[in-house]
Amino acid sequence: MSTQGYEEELRSERGYVADLYARLDAERARVKGEFDAALLGNGGTAVERDVEVRTRAKEMKRLDVADNGLCFGRLDSLDDERSYIGRIGIFDEDDEYEPLLLDWRAPAARPFYVATGATPENMRRRRQFHARGRRIVEFTDEVLGRPSGEERGDAALLAAVNAPRGAGMRDIVATIQGEQDEIIRLDHSGVLVIEGGPGTGKTVVALHRVAYLLYTQRERMERHGVLVVGPNPEFLTYIGRVLPSLGESDVVFMTAGDLLPGLRVTAEDVPEVVRRKGSLAMLDVLAAAVAARQRVPEEPLPVQLGGTAQRITADVAEWAREEARSSGLPHNEARAVFAEIITYVLTERALSRIARGWPGGDDRVTRERLKAELLAELAGDEAFTAALDELWPVLTPEDVLAGLYSSPERLRAAGADPSLLRADGAAWTVSDVPLLDELVDLLGRDKAAEERAARAAERERAAEAEYASDVMDQLTGRQDSMDDEDHLYATDLLGAADLANRFVEHDTRDLAERAAADREWTYRHVVVDEAQELSEMDWRVLMRRCPSRSFTVVGDLAQRRSEAGATSWGAMLEPYVPGRWAYRSLTVNYRTPAEIMNVAAALLAEFAPDGKPPESVRSCGVEPWSRKVTADELPAVVEEFVRDEAGRDGTSVVIGPPEVPGAVPAADTKGLEYDAVLVVDPERILADGPRGAAELYVALTRATQRLGVLHTGSLPPALSGLAERDGSA
């Protein structure tokens, strides 16, 4: 294309995209008007108005995120039909809803990502726009259909991967590659495992798959939302903007430690304890720990009933316990069965003694009256309630697990390993979360407490409605006594019933807020990142959260650090979804340049010889280096690195032992990426437990441009390929 032709084409494209933005602004104004009207509360119930407000707010958010990079490309077919590709779909309402902009997830947009020179997908040309704000700066064309043509998007892709990193992960909607697009659009209703080495984009592919599923299955998925589980809060913050940037907000982000609402993790387990807590063998331990709290008395427990001295004996309690256990009910709900048997025995024995001293004591009506009186007496008897609490207490998960951990005797009785003993039984760790969650089901609900809470809530609602009615009476009285032309009161806008209805509590939180706070919430789809770290017990929690078993599982077995984590995807998943899980791998490294990946690959070959490192798509021209320093020199050299990187664009990190100023552990950088990385004391990282090599592999593969290694001892042999610097370098 000549320079003049290019400039004319550029002006044309700028005009087309400007029209798209004008239509976007008009749609945004329309939705904003509907949102404002919903806020005024005209018509419908309070709940209906709140739904309308949330719906319009969500639509406004979707339109707002589309403002950034609204249109990023164009496809020209062999029939000279043009299709513009962007973040959302825009249609011409005056021309039978002709598509002016295709949503990137629409089937018609797929050739933009998968067409190649060899397989052009009936396309003649692919055009990629480069924009600054709302203005197209330039475009690049790729002519398709030539046998010698290269894979699409090389220029755009390399520009993206070479760009300085920011604070958060960016979406790849404009540069999705063929193997990534195949996974994003895969039609599979069960569990999809996406495995890939560092830098292959497995996380961002999983997030784009969520956006695609929400687009294609909106009605099915929207009411329940999507759960994304990541390894740590920093990682979730890093990836947190990707889905909102694609217009999706019905997503809950959690770590494994957040899966039980209200629990606060304050401690950390050693690797051996993590392994034991993560094993399914803990199911037997938990069941035994609960059973141990279902007791029979060593000595009979006295109960006064109807003026007679009764006792709860061991044989009666044993009968009641067996009946309660055989009911199949959770512990707290089975207490009613236990209490029923004890009550039956005590009242029958009391009746027999009382009836002997009553004229006509054998009369059925008399016995029924007496029995009713005895039952009422027992219900209010504190000694009887205390006896039930001793033999079959109402328990919480925290009661059971804290009591187990802090007692050598209880650990022994439950068949648990002594390593689980700790001084503070309630110092919760991430590994305790699945155990506590399991206990929620083992124990069941305290229905009596729930009924009391429900009655209290009903009384509160009634009081609020009565208060609202009083307010309306006062407002109406004041309005009637004044000139209508001079005064405007709340009654001019809403009626008494309307105001009273607003005092009745209803849930105004959005889906993500409600789901995150509700342990009983079930999701339509779950994404699990760094899934190789999850234990068998962790998977039980997640399967409970998603009864439909619709998962996108992301991980790399070679990077597993946890002693309780996966060594095989099949071993973890087959018990839950036999024959319903699919495996896909990503083989291309878009993040780590070849110079750095060569160093990491040498380490991988040493600790995981069967692992295959991903192939880097680029070189950066900067060789990674190492430098030996003394312990005294180390702080100054680290400070020098931080100072130098502060003057560059992008991000940097120091990874190393906690005593190094400003350093973070390798585990905290999983899934993250930085322009520059300084790894300190790799020999100490290797020595940190059996999975130290995996941690060092993670540390080495975080950099997108520059990697340096400082060592105070001998450099590990696997890193011998690093260029050694001296202090003057």
Annotated binding-site ranges: 196-203
Distances (CA, A) of 438 to 78, 196, 443: 59, 31, 9
The 8 Å CB, 24+ separation contacts for 55-61 are 56/31, 58/249, 58/250, 58/510, 59/31, 60/28, 60/31, 60/32, 60/35, 61/244, 61/247, 61/249
Distances (CA, A) of 382 to 308, 601, 603: 16, 70, 68
Answer yes or no: are the C-beta atoms of 593 and 704 closer than 8 Å.
yes
Three-state DSSP class for residue 593: coil
- For residue 15 the two structure tokens come to 């005009």
Beta-bridge partners for 689:
none
What is the chain's alpha carbon radius of gyration, rounded to the nearest angstrom? 33
Residue 377: CB atoms within 10 Å: 17
Annotated binding-site ranges for ATP: 196-203
Q: Can you tell me which residue has the tokens 């009887």? A: 384
For 83-143, give the secondary structure using H, E and C: EEEECCCEEECCCCCEEEEEECCCHHHCHHHHCCCCCCCCEEEEEEEEEECCEEEEEEEEE
Distances (CA, A) of 104 to 79, 111, 124, 219, 336: 21, 10, 19, 19, 57
Q: Can you tell me which residue has the tokens 């825009």? A: 90
CA dist., res. 192 & res. 531, Å (int): 12
- Strands 82-86, 71-77: pairing kind: antiparallel
Residue 292, judged by CB atoms within 10 A of its CB (0-12, 13-18, 19+), counts as: middle
Answer yes or no: are the C-beta atoms of 362 and 381 closer than 8 Å.
no
Amino acid identity, position 374: L
CA dist., res. 69 & res. 47, Å (int): 36
**Contacting residues for 460 by C-beta, under 8 A, at least 6 apart:** none
Nearest in space to 305 (alpha carbons), one of 240, 375, 257: 375
Nearest in space to 209 (alpha carbons), one of 232, 192, 231: 192
Distances (CA, A) of 228 to 177, 253, 551, 572: 23, 5, 10, 19
Distances (CA, A) of 498 to 41, 46, 441: 10, 8, 41
Helices marked H in 551-620? 569-573, 594-607
**Contacting residues for 370 by C-beta, under 8 A, at least 6 apart:** 306, 351, 354, 355, 358
Answer yes or no: are the C-beta atoms of 411 and 422 closer than 8 Å.
no
Q: Helix 692-700 vs helix 594-607: angle between axes, to the nearest 10 degrees?
A: 170
Q: DSSP states of 403-428 as a string? A: HHHT-HHHHHHTT--GGG--S-TT--
